[in-house]
């Protein structure tokens, strides 16, 4: 059995890790770290876990934890892990970091967008960006540190990746209009996240300055081997789970001046995703809906070619707490320890 | 492998059966019956099943189906199964009926409340009322027909059962105020179930005449060995899943004139439910919430003793599509075929 | 013009007062009191008021305010007003208190249920319980202090009042099962009120000990000229606005042993409410829904006679922020100053 | 008093007309047309109108109605009005058409997008496109036919209008990503609009082929005196009311090569909207939210200049049933009859 510890086990992403690992046949959680609830029973914080988890919450002592477990999941605020990670810890334990600390390779970009100094940039080069479908071959028994991608990011990148990789769109025209359920905002007690403020409401936020922007740009830039600068606009939607992205880009014309057809583009998506268990490229005429992936590790991707404007509209949907956070973290753990990649993730989406 | 057929596979309860059986290790669905969608791919009706179910929907020919499968789930309108069930079919196949046709032993009561003639009352005596925790020993390889209880009913009965069974409350004072999410209303296209009619709204319906009333009364009457007449008032709540019942009854006083304490009553609940995997009796001060059982087969039960009024307030919560329908149906199937009772039902509730 | 000040203008009830008074032809708000937002523009707190209210928020100095206005609305925490109210203030200004401080005549009952010492019990006798339809003749130019009723209370009392007043039910059997939207919980930043905790969830709370209980009991006791002890169980529903109460009581039989008919009871309701603008007694077969009163000052009341159990099920619905708080406060102000009682309250319910 | 008739009075837009006109001091509704509910009391269809509207629903006989009223509102399916409108009718009565029949000047465009033949194109030239703020001077006592704009359209056009009019953006790059509450889908009983299908879900629909597209293009083309071809992508959001549009376009650079500043663009918006009662241009850093305009006739508009990409992100929010339908229709009626333009529309947005 893989022994796992979670730092930040009582946030929404941490809670989802507990839910997923409860059905993982090769893993056992031995440390439920939660600074806010030390010594309280975990199920008192998440009553859904009554009679399933009997453990009490512990402190978030990373060094002590490193001696006791094989893998640590850090579902912590930005800067936390970077501030305490050491070579000694990494020699003892593998880390899957759900925060943004090691996602961005360019530390100056990280510091500019996050407004904090990076305390341990020396570990950035070895951190693997854990978008499993793209970087699977870099995540294995030798990997010590995985930077688990953000929720918006996973959805935004996977939706456009084949088109960028194959150079079929003009990346300078790429616009990502993203919509998210409210669990992405976390469990902190803030007025804007109160039921009455979110329910029956809709708004954009972080317009032109949301922190997931550079992460999308960097990864798509790697894919396309070019510099990518995009507009990314997140919106808050009155639902618990789910992210939907709608992406717009000018299609490059074919040598004969025509646009590629839906079928030609479908082949490109299938080239990259045809063998992927967790990415479903939808059939013609079908647009992704967040409900169809809820509770599961799937990303659904669809697209429409608009002959009138010459653009492609690409859409992607995932569950922000699963493929957008905890599910992908478990998928990364499976790769790190040589488990079947889908172990613990055979979740059938729940409808309605 | 147990071969299963579903009649009514494209309703919400049918869809939930498909979701649950997808992870059942000893069962294979070979017939997705749906009169409305014959020859259409099942995943076109429920896009969450894309790449999981490849079958097409078939007609609802019960006789033909009986030759091909080991068990049939009927998630059909009232009167459907009673109208077509035959001895020949029952000799070939086990049936778990999610409709009300064989739930009520007194056929006159059935006909009065449902307003239809019962077409095959000869099968009522052998039908086992499939509330697994109460009637487990009657559900086995010899059972041919299981009447799967209603969603409100399962919750209402289990919440009060130990108190009625032990004669601790005055059953004439029992009042059940029930609240349900909207999936209980089914997938029929009706104006009252439109989003804009349900959302931001709350109402009672079927006041004093809801069809689940006699089912609760009959089963609690059996438990208490007495006649039971209750008020049952359902309410429609703007959420997809979940039932919460709040039940009120006068506590019988102890010989010394005092009321039983919370702890004494807890012992009674534990006597009946202490060993039950799917019934969780909550700790003192804790009230059930529908969210804590969502997506799972759990029923959460809690109660408060009110010294001022001499009443007990009992509360129960379950997911109407799981323990209230498809989950319990699978639990019954497990008992019928000697599988582990929880096979396919090890679902951790999903929060948030 | 009546000059009005609001203490607690940035809570949900305070915000609703601002919305209602914006369309009141005889009132002008001159003081937006909000300790948390002093010197900030009111519309920065409630962006719906952009270009409608230009004022800044002020401190909550009651004594200073008393010199400047004709009426003060206090939408403040329990104990606040009782702690600072003086005879001098009451000689200068009328007060409509939306808190519970002066609602309960028996100060011992107040202190037991609220767990705080009452700091100015000397004003309790003169405070009029501002349920306008019942106490209209006590609210006029001579009244100095109105205790504006609670939201649950208004709904619970009005729904049962005619039956209790006329002695048609056995008050010892009265049970009030109440359900409320989330705005009743206020705008405080607390985890249980976060969107993801409330949405798709349903729970009872304050079971057997909610503070609105004694207020209902006292007022119904006055109506029935008897002692009333009830069960009152509130539930939190995933919607912004609206309260629905479902009340159960044994009907007293008529001398001939029969139950009163629906029509006979309707006459009783009409006797009390037939002339009331804001109380709508629904037609036979019609149950109240919160959506039908949303945004308005109406209370809708309906009932069903259950011959089987001998009980009446009474139902009432209102908008907790209007008739349950700010609307009733304005109605009281209108009575205090001799305005038309419905001035500023001619609000047509908004659907959907 | 202006006598008004409504054809389609029991749809959501028709219901909203009834709500608004109930508080209009110069109008009286004398005809509630609803083919589906002939002879039924209007309040039986919309229980919020109990004790407010006593009329029964009538047939939709336009010719008969023309003799009885001064203005007819048609809230009817596409093609209905075009199929029955005659010169004779127009000589008797003014018509405000909430359908799309006379919105698009180019009949070929209409027929292509709507897939139906236009039965009375002869009236198209005289129909005024009733976006009051833009075409106010064409709507007066001489106007016979007003084409009331669509909900998405009103929001999309007003959000970008000043920028297009002044030539400050490259219109070829304009992308409109729109999100709507579910009341926009109407009150028809369709599975995709059921509560359980919409709630906790989010999807795009009508991608690259939604019928509001040519209406936006035509009107912005008129504004910019150029041909406009855009991407317009609507999304269905789990809320009752509200539309939010997020629009992207490349800013034209100033002669010195720099981008215009937020303040410079604000001046442009103020030039067009500074005097408009119902259009609120938000302050810097403030993004529109649908909740802030709910129930009112306001459109809130805000924008962000993105120096990184050279784009402007423009955002607009309105209530689809008010400014997006019935409110604007009343505003048009006020202009037609010389009433104060805001009569009946002094609605303060309702929060929460």
The continuous run of DSSP H or E covering A140 comes out as none
CB contact under 8 A, C282 and D52: no
pLDDT at A60: 87
Report ipTM for this prediction. Answer: 0.97
CA-nearest residue to C286 within chain B is: B205
Distance from CA of C259 to the nearest CA of A (A): 43
C-alpha distances (whole Å) from B307 to each of B259, B281, C12, C107 are 7, 21, 34, 21
Quickly state the pLDDT bin for B60 (edges 50, 70, 90): confident
The reply to whether residue C246 touches residue B235, judged by beta carbons under 8 angstroms, is yes
Sorting pLDDT into bands at 50, 70 and 90, what band is D121?
Answer: very high
Segment D265-275 shows an average pLDDT of 98
Annotated active-site positions of D, please? Answer: 151
Q: How many CB atoms lie within 10 A of CB B91?
A: 9
The verdict on a CB contact (< 8 Å) between C202 and B242 is yes
How many Å apart are CA C351 and CA D22, to the nearest integer?
14
C-chain CB neighbours of D289 within 8 Å are 47
Percent of chain D residues topping a pLDDT of 70: 100
> CA-based diameter of chain A, in Å?
69
d(CA A126, nearest CA chain C) in Å: 36
b/e per residue, B215-254, with b = 16+ CB within 10 A?
A: bbbbbbbbbbeeebebbbbbbbbbbbbbbbbbbbbbbeee
Whether the per-residue pLDDT at C2 is higher than 90: the answer is yes
Contact B187 D196 (CB under 8 A): yes
* pLDDT tens per residue across span C339-349: 999 999 999 99
Is omega for the bond preceding B105 within 30 degrees of 0, making it cis?
A: no
Q: Nearest 5°: CA angle at A300, between A297 and A305? A: 165
- pLDDT for C60 equals 87
Q: Hey, which residues does B204 pair with through a beta bridge?
A: B235
Which residues 6+ apart lie within 8 Å of C334 measured at CB?
A: C340, C341, C342, C343, C344, C345
| CA-CA-CA-CA torsion sign (A37, A39, A42, A43) | negative
- What burial letters (b/e) apply to B130-163, b meaning 16+ CB within 10 Å? bbbbbbbeebeeebbbbbbbbbbbbbbbbbbbbb
The structure tokens listed for D170 are 């490259």
Instruction: Give the minimum alpha-carbon distance from B115 to chain D in angstroms, rounded to a whole number.
Output: 26
Query: Minimal Cα distance from A43: which residue of B?
Result: B292
Instruction: Calculate mean pLDDT across residues B46-66.
Output: 96
Asked if pLDDT for residue D350 goes beyond 90, the answer is yes
In chain A, whose CA is at the least distance from the CA of B299? A48
Residue D271 has pLDDT above 90, yes or no: yes
% chain B with pLDDT above 70: 100
pLDDT at A194: 98
A199 contact residues in C (CB cutoff 8 A): 182, 195, 199, 238-240
Residues D193, C195: Cα–Cα separation, whole Å = 23
Do B305 and B261 form a contact (C-beta atoms < 8 A)?
yes
Take residue A340 and report the two structure tokens written for it: 């079947």
Residue range B277-298: mean pLDDT, rounded: 98
Predicted TM-score (pTM) of the model is: 0.98
B269 contacts C189 by C-beta, under 8 angstroms: no
As beta bridge partners, residue A108 has: none
Q: What is the mean pLDDT of residues C167-178?
A: 98
Active-site residue, selected from the candidate residues A57, A132, A151, A339: A151
Rounded Cα distance between D230 and D175, Å, is: 6
Tokens of A170: 């003009």
Q: Looking at the partner chain, which of B15, B22, B352 has a beta carbon nearest the beta carbon of A12?
A: B352
- Contact across the interface for A19 and B350, Cβ inside 8 Å: yes
Per DSSP, the residues of C308-334 read TTTEEEEEEEE-TTIIIIIHHHHHHHH
Q: Which two tokens stand for residue B81?
A: 């199964």
From the list B151, B196, B286, B287, the catalytic residue is: B151
pLDDT category of residue C300 using cuts at 50, 70 and 90: very high
- For chain D, the residues whose C-beta falls within 8 A of a C-beta of chain B are 12, 182-183, 187, 189-191, 193-200, 238-240
Q: Which residues of chain A have pLDDT under 50?
A: none
Beta-bridge partner residues of B3: B28
Find the DSSP H helices in B140-210: 151-165, 195-198
How distant, in Å, are the alpha carbons of B206, D36, D114 from that of D44?
Answer: 18, 13, 33
Distance CA D6, CA D148 (A): 14
Residue D143 has pLDDT above 90, yes or no: yes
Report the gap between the CA of C267 and the closest CA in chain D (Å): 17
Q: State the maximum Cα–Cα separation within chain C, in Å, rounded to a whole number.
A: 69
Q: How far is B128 from chain C (nearest CA, A)?
A: 28
DSSP string, B297-327: S-EEEEEEEETTTTEEEEEEEE-TTIIIIIH
Residue of chain D whose Cα is closest to the Cα of B198: D195
Contacts of A344 (CB under 8 A, 6+ apart): A20, A21, A23, A24, A25, A27, A330, A334
CB contact under 8 Å between C47 and D286, yes or no, is yes
Percent of chain B at pLDDT > 90 equals 99
Q: Which one of C13, C41, C48 would you mutate to disrupt binding with D, by most D Cβ within 10 Å of its Cβ?
A: C48
How far D27 CA lies from chain B's nearest CA (Å)? Answer: 28
Pair of tokens at residue A344: 């613990």
Q: Give the one of C48, C286, C293 whose C-beta lies nearest to D292's C-beta.
A: C48
pLDDT of res. A187: 96
CB nearest B199 (choices: D189, D190, D195): D195
* A187, A191, A238 member nearest C191 (Cβ): A187
Q: What is the mean pLDDT of residues C287-297?
A: 98
List of chains touching A (3+ CB pairs within 8 A): B, C, D
| Averaged pLDDT score across all residues of chain D | 97
Query: B179, C219 in Cβ contact below 8 A?
Result: no
Q: Do A231 and D309 touch (CB under 8 A)?
A: yes
Angstrom distance (rounded) from CA C196 to CA A294: 15
Pick from C128, C83, C123, C96: nearest CA to C14: C96
Angle formed at CA A319 by CA B241 and CA A76, multiple of 5 degrees: 110
Residues in chain C: 352
Across the interface, of D203, D208, D308, the residue whose CB is closest to A313 is D208
Neighbouring subunits of B (3+ Cβ pairs under 8 A):
A, C, D
Of all residues in chain D, the one with the smallest CA distance to B201 is: D240
B350 carries an active-site annotation: no
Other Cβ atoms closer than 10 A to A202: 25
Residue D308: pLDDT band (50, 70, 90) is very high
- Cross-chain Cβ contact B12/A48 below 8 Å: no
């Amino acid at each position: 059995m893989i022994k796992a510890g979670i730092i930040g086990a009582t946030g929404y992403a941490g809670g989802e890790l507990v839910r997923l690992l409860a059905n993982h046949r090769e893993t056992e959680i031995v440390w439920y770290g939660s600074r806010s609830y030390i010594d309280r029973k975990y199920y008192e914080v998440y009553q859904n876990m009554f009679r399933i988890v009997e453990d009490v919450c512990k402190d978030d002592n990373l060094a002590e934890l490193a001696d006791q477990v094989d893998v640590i999941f850090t579902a912590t605020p930005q800067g936390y892990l970077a501030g305490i990670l050491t070579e000694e810890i990494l020699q003892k334990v593998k880390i899957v970091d759900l925060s943004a600390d090691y996602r961005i390779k360019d530390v100056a970009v990280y510091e500019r967008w996050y407004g904090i100094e990076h305390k341990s940039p020396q570990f950035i080069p070895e951190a693997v960006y854990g978008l499993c479908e793209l970087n699977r071959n870099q995540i294995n028994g030798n990997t010590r540190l995985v930077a688990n991608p953000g929720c918006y990011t996973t959805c935004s990148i996977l939706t456009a990746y084949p088109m960028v990789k194959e150079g079929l769109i003009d990346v300078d025209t790429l616009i990502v209009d993203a919509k998210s359920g409210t669990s992405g905002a976390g469990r902190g007690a803030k007025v804007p996240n109160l039921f009455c403020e979110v329910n029956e409401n809709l708004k954009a936020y972080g317009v032109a300055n949301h922190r997931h922007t550079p992460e999308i740009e960097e990864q798509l830039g790697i894919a396309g081997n070019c510099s990518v600068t995009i507009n990314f606009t997140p919106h808050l939607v009155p639902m618990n789970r789910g992210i939907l992205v709608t992406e717009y880009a000018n299609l490059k014309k074919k040598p004969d001046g025509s646009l590629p057809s839906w079928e030609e583009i479908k082949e490109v998506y299938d080239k990259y995703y045809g063998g992927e268990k967790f990415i479903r490229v939808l059939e013609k005429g079908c647009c992704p809906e967040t409900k169809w992936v809820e509770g599961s590790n799937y990303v659904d991707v669809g697209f429409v070619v608009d002959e009138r404007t010459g653009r492609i509209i690409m859409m992607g949907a995932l569950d922000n707490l699963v493929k957008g956070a905890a599910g992908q973290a478990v998928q990364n753990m499976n790769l790190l320890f040589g488990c079947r990649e889908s172990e613990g993730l055979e979740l059938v989406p729940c409808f309605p």
